[in-house]
């Protein structure tokens, strides 16, 4: 057990460390993805609590503290609950990713709506919006709520995709739901208001 064993051990540790660094960069705001499906898969495999990424904070909630809702400890989700492509075209895609950080005080849910933009031969994050819900019935969901008739294509002309986000809050005697709709506008997610 001389120096060759030490060198082999050091080499194995160095290779392992470089793999961890490569994996950490697989799901970040600056990452490029070969397809929408590749983004959905990377999001689904993401572990916000253990992966160093600028996107980890999106899947974090604050454990309610005794001094008020903004004084508790930040809790990151250990894993992603779901990752779904809601709509895509040749140039844009909308993906919804959910997680449930484990908090002591009550159930918590996080949903992130991602807008992807295709540049050259890769897909990148152009915009994102974060939604949270707390309480016994906490849930965040998304649904594509725009449709077209035969012969039309969602995303062309003035037929923009519309996604409606629903937050289910509370429980134990008082529960309610909030919802809002979003569409694309110049590679940004834009909230729609009633006319």
- In tens digits, what is the pLDDT along the chain, a chain of 195 residues? 455 544 444 434 333 333 333 334 489 999 999 999 999 999 999 999 999 999 999 999 988 765 655 667 889 999 999 999 999 999 999 999 999 999 887 889 999 999 999 998 999 999 999 999 988 889 999 999 987 666 667 766 678 899 999 999 987 788 899 999 999 988 899 999 988
Query: What's the CA gap between 29 and 111, in Å, rounded?
Result: 16
Q: Which residues of 77-96 are buried (b: 16+ CB within 10 A; e: fewer)?
A: beebbebebbbbeeebbbbb
Terminal Cα-to-Cα distance of the chain (whole angstroms):
78
- Give pLDDT, residue 3: 54
Given a contact cutoff of 8 angstroms between Cβ atoms, the answer to whether 115 and 128 are in contact is yes
pLDDT at 181: 96
What residue numbers bound the domain in which 158 lies? Answer: 3-192
pLDDT of residue 160: 87
Q: Which pLDDT value is given to residue 191? A: 96
Total domains in the chain come to 1
């Amino acid at each position: 057990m001389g120096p060759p064993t030490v060198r082999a051990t050091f080499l194995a540790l160095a290779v392992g460390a470089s793999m961890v660094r490569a994996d950490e960069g697989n799901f970040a705001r600056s990452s490029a993805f070969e397809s929408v499906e590749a983004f959905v898969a990377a999001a689904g495999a993401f572990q916000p609590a253990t992966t160093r990424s600028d996107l980890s904070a999106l899947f974090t909630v604050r454990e309610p503290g005794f001094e008020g809702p903004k004084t508790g400890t930040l809790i990151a989700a250990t894993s992603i609950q779901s990752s779904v492509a809601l709509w895509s075209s040749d140039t844009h895609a909308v993906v919804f990713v959910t997680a449930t950080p484990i908090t002591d005080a009550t159930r918590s849910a996080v949903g992130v709506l991602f807008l992807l933009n295709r540049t050259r031969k890769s897909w990148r994050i152009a915009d994102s919006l974060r939604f949270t819900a707390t309480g016994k019935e906490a849930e965040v969901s998304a649904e594509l709520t725009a449709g077209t008739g035969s012969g039309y294509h969602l995303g062309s002309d003035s037929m923009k995709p519309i996604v409606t986000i629903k937050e289910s809050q509370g429980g134990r005697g008082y529960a309610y739901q909030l919802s809002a709709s979003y569409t694309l506008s110049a590679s940004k997610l834009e909230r729609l208001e009633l006319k």
